[in-house]
Homo-oligomer: A and B are copies of this chain.
Amino acid sequence: MEKRATIKDVAEAAGVGVATVSRVLSGGSASPRTRERVLAVAAQLDYRPSALGRNLRQRRTGGIGLLVPDLTDTFHAQLAEGVLACARPAGEPVVLGSTGGDPEQESELIGMLLEQSVDRLVAVPSGDEETWAPAIRAGMTVVFADRLPAGPPAADDDPAAAAVDDLLLLDGLAPAPPPPGRALDVPSVVADDRAGIRTAVRYLRGLGHKRIAFLGGPGHDRRAAAFREAVGAPVDEELVVFGTGSRDSAYAAASGLFQSRPDLSAVVAGGNVLGEAAVLAARELDLRVPRDVSLVMYDDVPWAELCSPPLTVIAQPGRDMGYRAAELVLRSGGRRQRSVVLPTELIIRGSCGPHR
Q: Which residues of A contact B (CB under 8 A)?
A: 1-4, 48-53, 55-56, 59, 61, 63, 66, 70-72, 74, 77-78, 80-81, 84, 88, 91, 93-98, 105, 108-109, 111-118, 137-139, 247, 276, 279-280, 301-303, 305-308
Q: Is there an interface contact between A61 and B66, defined as CB atoms closer than 8 Å?
A: no
> Is there an interface contact between A97 and B78, defined as CB atoms closer than 8 Å?
no
Decide if A52 touches B50 in the complex (CB within 8 Å).
no
What 9 A-B pairs come out closest when comparing CB atoms? Answer: A303-B303, A96-B96, A71-B77, A308-B308, A1-B139, A52-B56, A51-B116, A84-B98, A72-B77
A72→B74 contact, CB < 8 A = yes
Identical copies in the complex: 2
Q: Give Cα distance in the complex from A111 to B118, angstroms.
A: 20
Complex CA–CA separation, A118 to B116 (angstroms) = 13
Query: What would be 24 A-B contacts, judged by CB atoms less than 8 Å apart?
Result: A3-B139, A52-B55, A52-B61, A52-B116, A52-B117, A70-B81, A71-B80, A72-B77, A72-B81, A72-B302, A84-B96, A88-B97, A88-B108, A88-B109, A93-B95, A93-B112, A93-B116, A94-B96, A94-B97, A95-B96, A276-B306, A279-B306, A280-B306, A307-B308
Among residues of B, the one whose C-beta sits closest to the C-beta of A85 is B98
Q: Which of A74, A91, A109, A307 has the most CB of B within 10 A?
A: A74
B138 pairs with A113, CB closer than 8 A? no
CA distance A238 to B297 in the complex (A): 39
Q: Which of A94, A112, A307 has the most CB of B within 10 A?
A: A112
A308 CA / B137 CA spacing, docked (Å): 51
Q: Is the CB of B117 within 8 A of A66?
A: no
Q: In the complex, what distance in Å separates the CA atom of A66 from the CA atom of B94? A: 10
Please judge, given known A-B contacts A71-B71, A308-B308, whether A113 and B93 are in contact too, CB under 8 Å: yes
Given contacts A63-B116, A77-B77, 20 further A-B contacts (CB under 8 A): A1-B137, A1-B138, A51-B61, A51-B116, A52-B61, A52-B117, A70-B81, A71-B71, A72-B77, A84-B97, A88-B97, A93-B97, A93-B118, A94-B95, A94-B96, A94-B97, A276-B306, A303-B306, A306-B306, A307-B308
For A49, the chain B residues whose CB sits under 8 A away are 115
Inter-chain contact A98/B81, CB cutoff 8 Å: yes
- Expressed in whole angstroms, the Cα–Cα distance for A88 and B71 within the complex equals 15
Distance to closest chain B CB from A180 (angstroms): 21
Check if A138 sits within 8 Å of B71, measured CB to CB: no
Q: Which B residues are CB-close (under 8 A) to A77?
A: 71-72, 74, 77
The distance from the CB of A330 to the nearest CB of chain B, in whole angstroms, is 15
Chain B residues contacting A72 (CB-CB under 8 Å) are 74, 77-78, 81, 302
Q: In the complex, what distance in Å separates the CA atom of A141 from the CA atom of B292?
A: 55
Which residues of chain B are within 8 angstroms of A116 by Cβ–Cβ distance? 51-52, 63, 93
Q: How long is the Cα–Cα vector from A138 to B2 in the complex, in angstroms?
A: 7
Q: Which residues of B contact A61 (CB under 8 A)?
A: 51-52
CB of A48 within 8 A of CB of B96, answer no
Question: How far apart sit A80 and B70, CA to CA, in the bound complex (Å)?
Answer: 10
Look across to chain B and name the residue whose beta carbon is closest to the beta carbon of A105: B88
A109 to B87, CA, bound (A): 11
Contact flag A71-B81 (CB < 8 Å), given A48-B115, A51-B115: yes
A55–B52 alpha-carbon span in the complex (Å) = 7
Select A276's contact among B4, B53, B96, B302, beta carbons within 8 Å.
Answer: B302
A94 partner residues in chain B, CB cutoff 8 A: 95-97
